[in-house]
Amino acid sequence: MFLIDIIFNSRTRLGLLALSLCLAGCESLFFYPMKEHVRSPADIDLAYSDVRIASSDGVSLHGWFLPAQGEAKGTVYFLHGNAENISTHIASVYWLPERGYQVFMLDYRGYGLSTGVPTLPEVLVDIKKGWQWLLQQPQVQQVPLYILGQSLGAAMAGYVVATEPELKKSLTAVALDAGFASYPQVAKEAAAKHWLTWPWQWAVHSLLGDEYNLEKVIGQIPPTPLLLIHGRHDNIISAQQIQQLYDRAGQPKQLLQYDGPHIATFQQPVNRKYLLRFFAQAAAGELVAP
């Protein structure tokens, strides 16, 4: 009997360890901030200004505002993925000022120079605070406003757009690059990739709620034009999740699929041109529901 208890308890401990590792991995999948900046816009010859915004609970948010080179065609509110901070994710948007778009990049709480600890729904509040700050800027009020989110930033940006109808009125279009349909689904897919966490994928799926899942609300984004983007070689966000989002989204909507890995979209000039054309068509009122 004693031996059976030892075997049972050992297996239980091993299982609990595997589950805790899985849950820890899922948490880092959602928020994996880096505090240090590896570069500034000045290092790549871009003008910029530091922005400080107070969030609702006293957290200080930091971001960069990159002015357009020449007359501004629009403003892009950029929301980055789960890891690192704006100093690395600037690689996705550094080219926009040269094309006439001013860019506001926000670090969520806990990322970069922003204080606090990243959690949901507090990070969604941070995104709204950044949006509200933008709308108060004279240079933003004069031109179309777009949101561009990548990975976790796409999932959260889409959720905020869909659930904030008053803010959505200020938006010309939204582009979501490699956003996922639901937190449980992306965690389950991540758990299934490792032998240690594979047995717990369904447990993780059931433990995570669906309160802030984009797939539940993406149908509320219209009539704002929506662009969904996904790399065919993305091994983080499955094509199935993008298709789920596209199927649930209303018109007007577009789907851009390209040959490349996770959020490598704008390394390819053809994808930059596609995004700029999407912005221009939305600003001209050419993207409407049939």
Check: CB of residue 176 under 8 Å from CB of residue 227. yes
Residue with tokens 């670090």: 107
| Residue 196: predicted pLDDT | 56
| Residue 200: predicted pLDDT | 54
Please name the helix (run of DSSP H) or strand (run of DSSP E) that holds residue 233, with its range, or none.
Answer: none
CB atoms within 10 A of CB 240: 11
Domain ranges of the chain: 16-283
| Residue 185: predicted pLDDT | 75
Check: CB of residue 220 under 8 Å from CB of residue 249. no
Q: Which residues of 95-132 are buried (b: 16+ CB within 10 A; e: fewer)?
A: ebbebbbbbbbbbbbbbbbbebebeeebbbbbbebbbe
| Residue 104: predicted pLDDT | 99
User: What is residue 20's three-state secondary structure?
Assistant: helix
Amino acid found at 20: S
CATH number of the domain located at residue range(s) 16-283 in this protein: 3.40.50.1820
Average pLDDT per 10 consecutive residues for the chain, totaling 290 residues? 30 41 50 96 98 94 98 98 97 98 98 95 96 98 98 98 98 98 77 56 58 96 98 94 97 98 97 99 93
| Residue 204: predicted pLDDT | 59
| Residue 187: predicted pLDDT | 72
